[in-house]
Amino acid sequence: MLPIDPAQKLSFNRRITNGDLVIVYERYDSMKSVKVSENGVLQNRFGVFKHSDWIGKQFGSKVFSNKGGFIYLLAPTPELWTLVLSHRTQILYIADISFVVMYLEVVPGCVVLESGTGSGSLTTSLARAVAPHGHVYTFDFHEQRAVSAREDFVKTGLSDLVTVGVRDMQGEGFPNELSGKADSIFLDLPQPWLAIPSAAKMLQQDGVLCSFSPCIEQVQKSCETLKSCFTDIRTFEVLLHAYEVREGNLGSWLDSSDGGKTCKKRQRSTNGQDQNSRPQTIMARRNGEARGHTGYLTFARLKCNM
């Protein structure tokens, strides 16, 4: 079998082969990552699925079990990988990730430095953004996390775009050999201000830095340190609200929201009219499962006289 070009892996415009990683979509709230093996079998509530039936199909295909149940075989895009990866640490989610990639001005060919790697959620999106000729250098002080991250990048076909290092960034800073080579830097550290002086040396002229911190006290101290080498310092909080939109009447929606406890009381109005017979309308409400505060994103641009 001929080796698959990394750029082609990222596009997923090909058929599934033995050894590929696929995201098995069972339903909207149930997905898992599976490595395809010719003799492999997946068993779930929908039946038994043979991996051999998957090989040769396009990503996105619908496949059936011996019972007639079905699943979808999806490509391991960064968005889906973020939803199924092993949480070795708290991770960044899609809203923060998309904001970071945009404000760091990450485009194909860029060199990006990251500390720390954690579960690799952001790293995966950064790698896709710099592909096919850029590179991401990511560092974590925890050796086993770094090893697990390397294994994940091999699974997702990103190992040629990502280098994982083990390093105490707050104590040692970035490696000297990367000095002046980075277009962008991302910091996710308990004390990011300790790594900011080193980060300034790594950036090219007009390079951009982002620091992620869950507490405003961390942001304040980081901003004070940034002032010596950086300009255009800005802090954002990204709050994502998901909405449910459907057709119905207010009474039926209220019934569903409390698990049907008041359903019998609302079945009929005072004039005896069945509530379900009332005119239908389009309604929207905020999904209660929406995540709140995740952290603060502080961006800064290297001063031109550095």
The whole-number mean pLDDT for each consecutive block of 10 residues of the chain, a chain of 306 residues, reads 49 83 89 93 94 95 93 91 80 89 97 93 94 96 93 90 96 96 97 98 96 97 97 94 79 60 46 60 74 87 81
Question: What is the predicted pLDDT for the residue at 254?
Answer: 65
| Rounded distance between C-alpha atoms, residue 36 and residue 18, angstroms | 5
Question: What is the predicted pLDDT for the residue at 260?
Answer: 47
10 is in an annotated binding site: no
* Residue 16 φ/ψ region, left for φ over 0, alpha for ψ in the -120 to 50 degree band, beta for the rest: beta
- Three-point CA angle 247, 253, 258, nearest 5°: 155
| Rounded distance between C-alpha atoms, residue 272 and residue 294, angstroms | 48
- Give the CA dihedral 45, 51, 52, 56, nearest 10 degrees: 110
Query: Across-strand partners of 231?
Result: 301
Question: What is the predicted pLDDT for the residue at 263?
Answer: 44
Question: Residue 167 is encoded by which pair of tokens?
Answer: 């390093």
Question: What is the predicted pLDDT for the residue at 39?
Answer: 93
Question: Residue 291 is encoded by which pair of tokens?
Answer: 């995540």
| Rounded distance between C-alpha atoms, residue 57 and residue 51, angstroms | 11
Question: What is the predicted pLDDT for the residue at 262?
Answer: 46
255 is in an annotated binding site: no
168 is in an annotated binding site: yes
- Cβ within 8 Å of residue 240, ≥6 positions away: 93, 94, 95, 290, 291
121 is in an annotated binding site: yes
122 is in an annotated binding site: yes
Closest residue by Cα to residue 232 from 223, 241, 240:
223
Question: What is the predicted pLDDT for the residue at 283?
Answer: 83
74 is in an annotated binding site: no
52 is in an annotated binding site: no
Give the global pTM: 0.77
